[in-house]
Structure 1
Amino acid sequence: MQKIAIVGAGRVGESTAQFLARRDIAREIALLDVREGAAAGAALDIQETAPLLRFDTRLTGSHEASVIAGAELVIITAGLPRKPGMSRSDVLDKNVEILDVILQDILVHAPQSRILVVSNPVDVLTYRAWQKTGWSRDRIFGQAGVLDTSRMAAFIALETGLSTHDIQALVLGGHGDAMVPMLRYSSINGVPLDHFMDQATLDNIVERTRHGGAEILALKQTSSAYGAPAAAIAEMVEAIALDRRRVLPTVALLDGEYGERDVAMGVPCILGQGGMERAIELELNAEERAAFDQSIAGVRKDLERLA
C-alpha cells in the first residue's frame, strides 16, 4: 500500500501505527487527531525508531483532516473510551457523533479508501459507517474477532502450557459479553480442546474471553487495552495490504449469511486486496445458533438507537 491513515492518535491508534510501521507494509502512515500536536508528536516518536527497528515507512501526523488525503485504507480508532464498569454500548451515542464527523472527512479527503472500524461499539459503528457512506460492504468492515480470538487462544495456552503457535481458535458474534467463542471450531494443532481440558475449564475460558477487555480495564483502571487490539488491527491490515486472502473473523455487513441482513456482525471472512472479499457461513448447531441469535439481538437493540 502507498498510504494508510489512522484516525485517533490515542493509545490504540499510536500502537497500531507502531505495529504497522514495523511490518513495513505501507510507504506512508498518516495519523489524524483533533488534539493539536498529538498526532504529529506520535508520528515523530515512531519515526525516530525506524533506524533501530529497521523500517522505511514514513509517518506524518496532524489535527487537519487533509492529512488523510489519498489514503487507501482508513483505520478509525477515535472515540470515547470505556471506564471501569461501562459496557461498550454505554459509549454508543457519543461515539456515533464522533464517527459521523470522521466519515465526512473521509468522504472529502479519501473517497476511494476502505474503512476499518475499531472504535466501540464496533458492530454498531461499522453498520453506521456503511449506512452513512452508502459504500459497498467490501469497503467497510470492523475489527473485533481477531482480538477476541487472540485472547481465547492466549487463555488456552496459559491453561495448557502449550505453544500458542499450535492453537487455532474462533469467536463469532458481537464484540461484547454476548460474543460466541466457538469451541467446536477450535483446536490445538487439529486436536480437539476437550482432549486437553475438562468442560469446566473450557467454560471458564469462554467466560474469560467474553470479558477479556473488561478484565484489563478493571486491572489498569486508567486505560483500556491497546497492545492486543493494535496487534489484531495489524494482522487484518497486512492481509489486505499484501493480498494474503486470509480467513479472519471480521465485523462484516451480512447479506443473507446466517439468515441475517441489515446488520454488522463478527463472522469469518476472506480479507485480501479487495477488502472484505467474502463472508463465510459456518454450520451452527442448536446451542451455537441460540448464542449467535442472542448476540445478533443485542446488536440490533443498539442499532435502534441510531438516528
Structure 2
Amino acid sequence: TNRMASSQLVRALGQRRLHGVPDLPQNRVAILGACGAVGQPLALMLKRSAFVSELALYDTLDTRGLCADLGHIATKARVSSYQGGRQQLADCLRHCSLVVMLAGRPRQLGMQLSDLFEQNAGTRWPGTARRRCCCCLLTSPLNSSVPLAAEVLRRYGVYNPRRLFGVTAINSVRANILMAQKTGTPLDQVSVPVVGGHSSSTLVPVLSQVEPHCRLPASELLAMTRAVRGAADTVLQAKAGAGSASLSVAAAAHGFLHSLLCAMDGRQNVVESAYVESDATDGPAFCSNPLLLGQEGVEQNLGVGRLSESEAQLLSEAAQELGEQIDQGRRFARAWKPSAE
C-alpha cells in the first residue's frame, strides 16, 4: 500500500546522507542573502560540495570580500559576486539550477512572527529564476514567506510547486538530537519526522513514527514535544539578543540541499522533509512533511502518515494559525510590486 511504501521511505530519513558524487558537477547555485549569519557558513559548506560547479553570491551588502575569501578554498566550485539592484539579481539567477533564499532579518527575542513578516516581506523575491530551477527558502517566517514566493513566481509565469521548498530541516535535526539523547540510540540511526509549519505553535514532532521505534511514557513524549517546539527560543535566549540560531540552521539546510542535489543528479530513494504546497493532507495548502525527491524536485509527497491521537490534535490546532499565515503571505503577494531599482 501507499502507506507501507511511505513508511519504508520515511525510514530512509535516518540514512539519507548520500555520498556518491558526480564526475563533473553542473549545478550553478545562487545564495541570496549570502553575507548573513546563515549565508556565510552555508556558502562555505556549498563551496565544498562536489555537486556545485559555481556559487553565485548575492546580497544588498558587498559580496566581493566573501567571494574572494571563498575563492581561496581549494575546491572545484567557482565563486561569483553580485550586489543589489534588479539587474544584479537577474544576472545572479541566470542559468541557476538551485536558488537558496536567506534574505531578510532573523527573528529577535520577543518578536512576533507578524512583525517579522512585515519587515521581511519586502525582500527581493527571485521572480526571474528559471522555471526548471529549484528554489529553497529560509527567509523567516517560512509559514508566510513560502506562499508569498509561490504567488510571486506564479506572477512571473515560472511557478512549479514541485520545485519550491521551505527548508525546515532544522526541526527534524533538533528532534533527532533530543530523541538520541533520551534513548541512547546513536544519532545517525535516529529519525523523527516533524510535520505542520515552521513556528513553535505550528510544528508537530511525530514521535510515534520515530525510527528505531521506542516506547516512552506520555509525560516524556509531552516534554520532548515542548522541547522541540521551543528549541529556536532556547537558542535566542542563550544568545541574549546577540542573534538567532545560525550555524545549526546552516548545517541542517546544507543537509537538505545536499540531498536535493543528490536527487537532481539521479540518486534514488532520497527522502527529506520540507514545507511545500500540497494536497497530500486535508489541512492547509502548505505543509511540512516527508517528501520523496527526484530530478524534477518533489517526486512524491508522502504526507504526514499515521499520527497518534495527541499528534493529530496538535496538528489540528496548528491548522488554523498556519492557514492564517499562509493567507497573510498571499495577500501581500497580491499587492506586491517589484522594486524599480
Fold shared by both chains (TM-score > 0.5): yes
Q: 1:118: Cα distance to partner?
A: 0.9
Could you tell me whether the CA contact under 8 Å between 1:252 and 1:265 is conserved in 2?
Answer: yes
Output the CA distance in 1 between the equivalents of 2:213 and 2:53: 41
Q: String of CA shifts for 1:79-102, please: whole Å, max 9, x gaps.
A: 12111112434311221211xx22
* 2:242 aligned partner, one-letter code: T
* 1:130 aligned partner, one-letter code: A
- Does 2:62 match 1:19? no
Output the CA distance in 2 between the equivalents of 1:45 and 1:87: 36
Q: Which residue of 1 aligns with 2:272?
A: 248
Output the CA distance in 2 between the equivalents of 1:271 and 1:149: 17
Among 280, 284, 292, the alignment partner of 1:270 is: 292
- Does 2:26 match 1:6? no
SS of the equivalent of 1:97 reads: coil
The higher relative CO (CA closer than 8 Å, separation ≥ 6) is in 2
Q: Which residue of 1 aligns with 2:111?
A: 86
- Cα 1:276–1:162 change in 2 (3 A) is same
Among 276, 279, 296, the alignment partner of 2:319 is: 296
- Does 2:238 match 1:219? yes
* 1:232 aligned partner, one-letter code: A
SS of the equivalent of 1:102 reads: coil
Q: Which residue of 1 aligns with 2:338?
A: none
Any unmatched runs of 5+ in structure 2?
A: 1-25, 333-341
Output the CA distance in 2 between the equivalents of 1:224 and 1:294: 26
Among 106, 116, 119, the alignment partner of 2:136 is: 116
Among 206, 214, 226, the alignment partner of 2:225 is: 206
* 1:93 aligned partner, one-letter code: E
Q: String of CA shifts for 1:223-244, please: whole Å, max 9, x gaps.
A: 1111121122222222222223
Q: Which residue of 2 aligns with 1:192?
A: 214
Query: In the TM superposition, what are the counterparts of 1:223-238 in structure 2 within 5 Å?
Result: 223-238=243-258
Any unmatched runs of 5+ in structure 1?
A: none
Identity between Structure 1 and Structure 2 (%): 22
Q: String of CA shifts for 1:171-194, please: whole Å, max 9, x gaps.
A: 11111112101110013xx23152
SS of the equivalent of 1:81 reads: coil
Output the CA distance in 2 between the equivalents of 1:115 and 1:77: 11
Output the CA distance in 1 between the equivalents of 2:114 and 2:68: 34
Output the CA distance in 2 between the equivalents of 1:169 and 1:270: 16
Output the CA distance in 2 between the equivalents of 1:31 and 1:43: 7
* 1:11 aligned partner, one-letter code: A
- Does 2:276 match 1:258? no
* 2:228 aligned partner, one-letter code: T
| C-alpha RMSD of the superposition | 1.9
Output the CA distance in 2 between the equivalents of 1:215 and 1:299: 22
Q: Which residue of 1 aligns with 2:9?
A: none
Q: 1:111: Cα distance to partner?
A: 4.8
Among 137, 144, 151, the alignment partner of 2:161 is: 137
* 1:5 aligned partner, one-letter code: A
Q: 1:40: Cα distance to partner?
A: 2.2
Q: Which residue of 2 aligns with 1:76?
A: 101
Output the CA distance in 2 between the equivalents of 1:269 and 1:160: 26
Q: 1:73: Cα distance to partner?
A: 0.9
Q: 1:110: Cα distance to partner?
A: 4.1
* 2:71 aligned partner, one-letter code: Q
Q: 1:272: Cα distance to partner?
A: 2.5
* 1:240 aligned partner, one-letter code: L
* 1:167 aligned partner, one-letter code: V
